[in-house]
Amino acid sequence: MTGLENSVQGDTVSWLVGVLLLIMSVASWVLILWKSWFLLRASRDVSRSTAAFWQSASLADASQRLQAFDRESLVLPLIAATRLSASTTLAGAGERGQQLTRVLRDALEQVLRKLQYGQIVLATVGAIAPFVGLLGTVWGIYQALIGMASAGQITIERIAGPVGEALVITAAGLAVAIPAVLAYNVFNHRIGRLEADLEGFARDLRDLLLTSPEARP
């Protein structure tokens, strides 16, 4: 392989690594900004919606009032799930308490999937971006050494420049990964708090519908 071929191949790999890191960085930052806004709204919605629910005169009244508060549809699906209908299938089998537990669990899983959206992307970027940067660095150092060997003269001055440029790619990989990991951990904490609030509301809602017949839809 000639020096020109080495240079072209090295530039191609470095370009691909750079493009991949750029894509991951843009994707993670777009997701971080959107998720921050979404979880802020979600926290406010859940707090206001649960407070409005318990201040309502009936379940129908609560559903109407929550239309203005539950902008991200995190609480309303739980209320809607409690409207049990007669069924001849296994879904409608069992006592009312068992049916409510089943439908509320399914509704809660749907809501939690909405809250978890994008977390896998942040986790993936945080996990692989440093290794992508390391790949670019290793390949850059390899190409630099090949180039110097073909030139027949190896000095510190010749090594420092190419190796320093290759190490920048590792730094770029870390710069992409660190915000993604930090955001993933912060979002996980916020999602955990919302999950606890929603699970508590679902449990209280089930108890209300079982012990207060007048509250049934």
Written in H, E and C, the secondary structure of 66-110 is HCCCCCCCCCHHHHHHCCCCCCCCHHHCCCHHHHHHHHHHHHHHH
Rounded to the nearest 10 degrees, the angle between the axes of helix 59-66 and helix 3-54 is 140
- Residue 56 has what DSSP assignment? S
The predicted-structure confidence for 124-163, as pLDDT tens digits, reads as follows 999 999 999 988 888 877 777 777 766 666 666 666 666 7
- Judge residue 27's burial from the number of C-beta atoms within 10 Å of its C-beta, 0-12 exposed, 13-18 middle, 19 or more buried: middle
pLDDT above 80: residue 94: no
Inter-residue contact 96 to 84 (CB < 8 Å): yes
Query: What residues have CB less than 8 Å from 215, skipping those under 6 apart?
Result: 58, 59, 208, 209
Question: Nearest to residue 144, comparing CAs of 14, 12, 10?
Answer: 10
What's the pLDDT at 5? 47
Dihedral angle, C-alpha 208, 209, 214, 216, nearest 10 °: 140
The predicted-structure confidence for 171-181, as pLDDT tens digits, reads as follows 999 999 999 99
- Residue 214 has what DSSP assignment? G
The predicted-structure confidence for 14-54, as pLDDT tens digits, reads as follows 788 889 999 999 999 999 999 999 999 999 999 999 999 98
Domains of the chain: which residue ranges?
3-84+97-215
Tokens coding 215: 């509250």
What's the pLDDT at 85? 60
Cα gap 178→168, rounded to integer Å: 15
What's the pLDDT at 101? 86
What's the pLDDT at 6? 46
pLDDT grade for 167, boundaries at 50, 70 and 90 = confident
The predicted-structure confidence for 64-91, as pLDDT tens digits, reads as follows 888 888 888 899 999 888 886 655 455 5
Cα gap 1→14, rounded to integer Å: 18
Q: Is 208 helix (H, G, I), strand (E, B) or coil?
A: helix
- Report the chain's mean pLDDT, rounded to a whole number: 83
